[in-house]
Each structure stands twice: as C-alpha cells, then as structure tokens.
Amino acid sequence: MFKKNVDAKALQRLSGADKKKLRRTAKQRFPQASDDDLDAILPPKVEITVAKYPSRTLVYGIEGELPMLFDIDGRGHELFPTVHVLLTN
C-alpha cells in the first residue's frame, strides 16, 4: 500500500582520479559548458561525494551541500544536472 523510503546503499568520497574522470565525462556530455561553468558545478578543490542507490542511480554532490549531478544508469553515459544546478548557475 505504501512505498518504502529510498535509502542510499553507499555514500563515499571520490578519489582524485575519479574526480578528473567525472569532470571529463561532464565536459563530453555538455560540450557547450565552459571551464568556468564546470568549476561552478564541480569545484576543483572540494570533496565530491557519490551516493549509490538500489536502482543503480549515482548522485554526485559537493560534501555537505545539495546534489549537483546524477547518473541514471550508473555507467557514466547518462549524466544530468540537478534542478538546483540549473537554477543557480
């Protein structure tokens, strides 16, 4: 009758190599975005976290703040900005 709450299976910080890979993927996915735009979404000197959900969705965010990007298939091919990013940047 009622749906269960959706909880993240894992929440972890990204390593330096994973941050660079995420940035490259975002640049490929959004070629019209400038480097300043990417710096606003994924600042180079902050901790970025990834939350993994049971539906294989990955949610990327700056530690202690709102989510910035999400990946619906968990493979890095379908990367989308959150509404928060679209409204603030």
pLDDT in tens, the chain (89 residues): 667 776 667 788 999 999 999 999 999 998 998 999 888 888 888 999 999 988 888 999 988 788 899 999 888 778 999 898 888 76
Structural domain that includes position 58: 10-88
Q: Would you say residue 32 lies in a domain?
A: yes
Element (H, E) at 20: helix 16-29
Q: What is the CATH number of the domain that holds 45?
A: 3.10.400.20
Number of structural domains the chain divides into: 1
Its pTM stands at 0.82
Q: Would you say residue 31 lies in a domain?
A: yes
Q: Would you say residue 26 lies in a domain?
A: yes
Strand partners, 67: 61
